[in-house]
Structure 1
Amino acid sequence: MIRYRLRCDEGHAFDHWFDNADAADAELAARAVACPDCGGTGVAKAIMAPSVAKAAAPPTPCGKPVCACGCPALDG
């Protein structure tokens, strides 16, 4: 399953689940997806930012967690 953010010709944005990317393209081309707000079938994929996981912060030299003030090992 894959979720896409969609936008209709009237500017309504909504999420919709598809079996896969090919199915999404086919359903959108066939105008088989309707906007839940207005019922319009002129729907296209909206631009989305990819979901990227952030890497964990490396441990500090002293082993203590870093606070907003910085690394405790750098206090002098």
Structure 2
Amino acid sequence: MITFNLHCESDHEFEGWFSSGADFDRQFENGLVECPMCGSRNIDKALMAPAVTKSREAQSQQPVALDTEKREMMRKLREMVKAVREKAEDVGERFPEEARKIHHGETEARGIIGKASGEEARALVDEGIEITPLPEFPEDLS
């Protein structure tokens, strides 16, 4: 897991957690990274000191300490994401097409998850179709 300090064009500062730098790049390119305060997608990484570890073994021996409140928040977030995934139909690459069909009443209303490019996601939002990205946790990627 990697944390980036981010800021938007309105100078709101916030953290973003990603499974890797490439994951941030993918989400950013797909228009999925936005300011939690104003919704802007004009996001930049803030300067931050790099985290340096000696080796994979040393890294696994360095526990991350979260305070009780943040640990509980992460537990709840993981539970919510798991529940959404379990109760939604995975339509894969057909996500934009299926979201439009549901929005226009051409097929049954139901929860769906899948994949959409940044351009496709922006087009759906521009059409008034409510979508949101789901976070991926390291254990989701194995």
- What's the TM-score, normalizing by structure 1? 0.60
Distance 2:44 2:30 in 1: 11
Q: Shift in Å at residue 41 of structure 1? A: 1.0
The 3-state SS of whatever aligns with 1:27 is: helix
- Code of the residue aligned with 1:7 in structure 2: it is H
Distance 1:48 1:3 in 2: 10
Equivalent residue, structure 2, for 1:25: 25
- What's the TM-score, normalizing by structure 2? 0.34
CA contact (8 A) 1:5 1:13 kept: yes
Equivalent residue, structure 2, for 1:3: 3
Structure 2: stretches of 5+ with no match in the other structure:
53-142
CA contact (8 A) 1:31 1:41 kept: yes
Q: Deviation string for 1:18-38 (max 9, x for gaps)?
A: 011101111112221110111
Distance 2:15 2:9 in 1: 15
Q: Which structure: larger Rg?
A: 1
The 3-state SS of whatever aligns with 2:33 is: coil
Structure 1: stretches of 5+ with no match in the other structure:
53-76
Distance 1:39 1:7 in 2: 11
Distance 2:29 2:11 in 1: 18
Q: Is 1:40 matched with 2:34? A: no
Displacement over 3 Å in runs of 4+: none
The 3-state SS of whatever aligns with 1:26 is: helix
Percent same amino acid at aligned positions? 38
Equivalent residue, structure 2, for 1:13: 13
Greater share of residues in helix: 2
